Amino acid sequence: MQISDLPYPDPGVPDARSGPRFLLWLGRGQLGGQLKSLCWGMLHFGGVAGLPYAVGLGIDAVVDREANRLLLVGGLLVLIGVAISVGDAMLHRTAVTNWITAAARVQQLLARKTAELGSALTRRVAAGEVVAVSTGDVEKIGWFVEAVSRFLAAVFSIVLVCVGLMFYAPELGVVVAVGVPVVALASLPLLPRATRRADIQREKAGKATELASDTVAGLRVLRGIGGEELFLGRYREASQEVRKAAVRSARMWALISAIQVVLPGLLLITVVWYGASLALDGRIAVGELVAAFSAVATLLYPLRHFEEIAMAYSFSRPSAQRAARVLSLTRTDAAERPEQAGPVQEPAAGGDLYDPRTGLLAPAGRFTAVVCGDPDLAGRLAERLGGHAMEEQDADPDGDAGRSGDGERDQERERDRGPAAKDGPSVLLGGVALDDLELAAARRLVLVQDKDPVLLSGTLRELFDVPASGAVDSDAALAAAQCADVLDALLQSAPDGVDDPMDARITERGRSLSGGQRQRLALARSLVTDPEVLVLDEPTSAVDSHTEARIADGIAGLRAGRTTVVLASSPLLLDRAERVVLIADGTVAAVGTHRELLHREPLYRAVVTRETDEEQRLAGLGMTELEEALTEIEESA
């Protein structure tokens, strides 16, 4: 794979069980590039290793006054110089190619996973962590992939120098052969501590990035409530913790670097002292002493790659673990179900939407409203109805945790998820499990709009350029979503020469619009797609009651004859629904119209009208009992 061939036609299926397994999978996917880099590295480091021997032969030729041999040594030095130069240039080229292609593969995998999970991704992983993985972590993973071939080539040159000295100058060769492994492995006991400190630094940096990303995303709201300084103070504290952790980590790596300088220096002094004594005794020639000295001096260069590979692995392992954690998330728990004998046929049009886990039934062609007392439960139910319910695989069977405390957070999250989050059968559309369908088919049949939809930057026309049936045009959708004032606002803020509001530009995430305006534009976009089943999670939570009533009428009119499910607790929306379902404790508790449930279901009335327990008790009393209760309340007051 060359850089010009990117992106990958298919980045493959990663081994996301742990960070080291993911790194190994990346390495296996680049065997060709790694072998090329290794060969060029062996040429480069082989030339570096051979240079001292050529110098030694040249000195011996000068001492022996052999001009022809000196000429041959000169030619050998030229060849070695060419090998070093060409090998170094090509090693750098192939290594950087490995880095970029590995980073590109990881980014493609992350982009594919993001597209697969959609808005459900940020419910399981913080948005800041996703940003950190796709930027800084990708670079560190690519660094390790790139450093492997250089390290192996450096090991080859070190072995070549030691073996060569054993034959060229056996007395000094023994000293070098014993001393070099000691120098190379001396910092090994310090690596676990350095790795732990690097992990702590990366963890704190990731939290600071998450905090910064979330703060920027909600900056408009924070300014509105006066909380900007509070979150700014929190970020200052988080950044100071990152600085302290980085200093502690740098101290350990500085110690390792010092060892990599001091010990080779001591080895060099030992070789010179011992070699000089051997030369004075006439046991070795001057050329052999110079060759041994030069060989040990050149070893300082390949020995630095031991430190580099240690640092690259220490920094890339937690990065790979975070990437593996994101990549291990799945759209459904399909991995735990038996494989299908063949491809699953799409359901016929006009089928009911049924959730066996909760017992929720949305009849085909009808407007169904769902009331949940828990907003988080409503959000998870909306994901599930769209076939996006997500189960997390075990991303760390070997205990290689990417961040401390994840296990406790996962346990707390599992407790908070409630009965509706337990393993269970898939949602059925027309009797066909959505989890068994291809993702594209499931999304074409069922569209889910969550309570916080995202608007990308671009023109309004580009916003509505989405896959659609063609039965609903943008004008009808905008009218149903009551977007007339939004169009006027966009046209007023548009530059001169823009007369059509569809050509007006929307800023990133629609930040120039109010929450209600963004919500209505997103609703219009969903209506344009005209899916067979449309699931809306609190589509009018940020608009006023008058606009909400008109939007409810618009949705009911535009979606007539199409299956629509709205998760809401607004009486205005519920009153327009043909069928209302109450979800309590993760299962269906009551079914009827809005007015029927208000009269016969106290729990429904409490959720919709926000009645307190005391108000519910008083509402169930007779006139005499009510007077007695009011007297008691007055006396107690």
The pLDDT value recorded for residue 395 is 37
What is the predicted pLDDT for the residue at 407? 39
Token pair of 60 as six digits: 């011996």
**pLDDT attached to residue 547:** 92
**Residue 311 identity (one-letter amino acid):** M
- With tokens 């996006």, the residue in question is 388
CB within 8 Å of 121: residues ≥ 6 apart: 113, 114, 130, 326, 329
pLDDT tens per residue, range 357-411: 899 999 999 999 999 878 788 888 888 888 765 444 433 433 343 333 343 444 4
Q: What is the pLDDT of residues 170-181, one digit of tens each?
A: 888 888 888 888
Average pLDDT, the chain: 80
In this structure, which long-range contacts are made by residues 338-347, counting pairs with CB atoms below 8 Å and at least 24 apart in sequence?
A: 340/436, 344/432, 344/433, 344/436, 344/437, 345/432, 346/432, 346/437, 346/441, 346/445, 347/429, 347/430, 347/431, 347/432, 347/445
Angle (CA) 261-264-270 rounded to 5° is 140
Q: Is 391 helix (H, G, I), strand (E, B) or coil?
A: strand
* Token pair listed for 536: 């809306």
Per DSSP, the three-state class of 341 is: coil
Indicate the pTM of the whole model. 0.64
pLDDT at 524: 94
**pLDDT score of 391:** 46
Greatest mean pLDDT among 66-80, 153-167, 519-533 lies in 519-533
Distance in angstroms (rounded) separating the CA atoms of residues 358 and 606: 21
Q: Mind listing the pLDDT tens digit for each residue in 414-458? A: 444 443 344 456 889 988 888 888 877 888 899 998 887 888 888
Asked if residue 583 lies in contact with residue 374, where contact means CB atoms within 8 angstroms, the answer is no
89 phi and psi, to 5 degrees? -65, -45
Kindly tell me if the per-residue pLDDT of 204 is higher than 70: yes
